[in-house]
Amino acid sequence: MAEDKPDAPKDENAKPAEGKPEDAKAAPASEPPKAAKPAPPPPVDQEPDEQTRVEPSVLRKSLAMKSEPSSGEKNDVEKHAEADDKAVEADAAEKTEREADTGETAVAKVPREPEEEDAEPTKADRKRPKTDPPHTPEKPAAWALPVVRFDAWLTKVETRLVFGVLMAEIGALVVWVMLKGFAMPAGDGRGRFIRAAFLGGLFAGVGALAVYLQARREKKDRTEAREAGESPSAPANNLKHLPAALGVVGVLVGVFFRGLGAEYTQNWLNWLQNASILFLIGGLRGLVTRLTLWVALLGASLATGKGKHINIDIVLRQLAPKLRVPVTLVGIAATVVMCVTGAWGFVDQLAIGEYHAPRTAPCPEDKSKTCEVPPGEKIAKIREEAGRDLFLLGRQLALDVRTLPVVVRGQPYDKWMSPREWNTFVDEGGWEKHYDIENVKRLRVADDRAEPMLPAVNVPGGEENSMALLVRDLSLVIPFGLLIIAIRFVMRALLILSGHVTVDPDAAHADDDDEPEPGPGAPNGAGAGKEPS
């Protein structure tokens, strides 16, 4: 029970305790005040001034006076505060008794932090197959950053090369088909179809270019009008049907003028196939074949760099995560050995079969026995013959520069070069630096020869035919491409060891949007790929 105390003097300026109505009567000092609703206990870190609220008028008055309150006012405030404390204690005791009677227990609810809440799985997470976490370091190693940068640079270069080679291949195919179609006789239906399709597309392209130029000019005029404060004129659109109309005209020309340009294009086709630089690589068909091979090798290298190469990962899926990295590295090592071995096999075959390098030679220790020719000698033979081929390539290019105007004018490509011009071409070419002087002299002809000379180079000595001579040199791209792929695998192994690449078996099948973020210091997003074994 609370101790009885005399009634405290009333303070008209003091506000009743919190939780009590303002018109409630003051309870006698002998009995603890009963509140209709228990007030919550004050916070521990709350200032005492918040427990006793003073009327604004009194506060303004006290501030205006700028003086300390009197001792009587202090006693009144202390007494009211003591009464409020007693009321809070009584309410707490009453609440404890009620909880004891009803068996209820008050449980404090502590709000959970956002990071403690259970994260809802996203749709992509539910679809993603459950796999073991990759066995990689938590933070990629910094020593592999040069490898990451070189891998990114190589990928950029190869991407541009693929685009250029594809455009060259498409252009070569279009030129080849167009020339073959136009050179066909007038009665051949295939030639008529190709001529109509080509002329229709060409005329429609000219019309589309005219529409584009008009739209660009009108846009410029509208911009100048707005800058001058004038109202821009509406687009004319008087050429919007021009591409279709010209396309129809081109098709009709190709259908009704069946023999149009046959002789002219036949001269072009014969020159390209028989007496130009393309003659050294097998004509337009040989060019398309070489370009297709280059695209295949470049695509294989890019796939290796991005971890999209063909692989069988059934064994890797059955292994524990800690064994996946060693097994993957063993597979990469075996692949590198195969690529290097295959590259040397191609070089050895080319050296013997195309560059005429000897397979065996007398042994240095015993001349009566034969030994395999060392790899260094075979490579030296390839280097010597390739230098001669490049020399012939330059001489043929010089002839093409002189023949091109003749073909453009429609004159026969094989009638313009006289024997005297051919002899001058041989004497001023520097052939003796690469071939025997006697064989070079045999290239000359009599100045009074009646027949003109074909503007195509010949190999001095007559040992080889110059047709498709450069195919053997272009075939060296195969071992070179295999070596690049081997380097790609070596870099991938280094990225795996450094933690820049994972060995998750499902990484090759993941979408590009699901790929992890680049490792620290990886330029342009490089080095963040995933590694299928």
CB of 183 within 8 A of CB of 265? yes
d(CA 231, CA 233): 7
Phi, psi at 54, each rounded to 5°: -115, 145
Among 267, 315, 293, residue whose Cα is nearest residue 479: 293
pTM above 0.85, yes or no: no
Task: Go through 5-28 and write b for each residue having 16 or more CB atoms within 10 A of its CB, e for each that does not.
Answer: eeeeeebeebebbbbbeeeeeebe
Residue where the block lists tokens 């640079």:
153
Give the pLDDT band (50/70/90) at residue 250: confident
> Which range scores top for mean pLDDT: 310-314, 410-414, 500-504?
410-414
159-197 per-position pLDDT tens digit? 999 999 999 999 998 888 888 888 887 677 777 788 888
444-474 per-position pLDDT tens digit? 888 888 889 999 998 887 666 678 889 999 9
pLDDT at residue 261 in the model:
76
pLDDT at residue 100 in the model:
54
More confident: 322 or 146:
146
d(CA 310, CA 133): 23
What's the one-letter identity of residue 528? A
CB of 92 within 8 A of CB of 19? no
pLDDT at residue 411 in the model:
92
Residue where the block lists tokens 């004159």:
411
- Among positive and negative, which fits the CA dihedral 199, 202, 205, 207? negative
pLDDT at residue 179 in the model:
87
3-state DSSP of 480-513: HHHHHHHHHHHHHHHHHHHCCCECCCCHHHCCHH
More confident: 138 or 361:
361
Mean pLDDT of the chain: 76
Domain-by-domain residue ranges, the chain?
A: 1-31+77-90, 264-354+475-533, 370-467
Among 400, 179, 177, residue whose Cα is nearest residue 269: 179
How many residues in the chain?
A: 533
Estimate to the nearest angstrom the gap between the alpha carbon of 276 and the chain centroid: 38
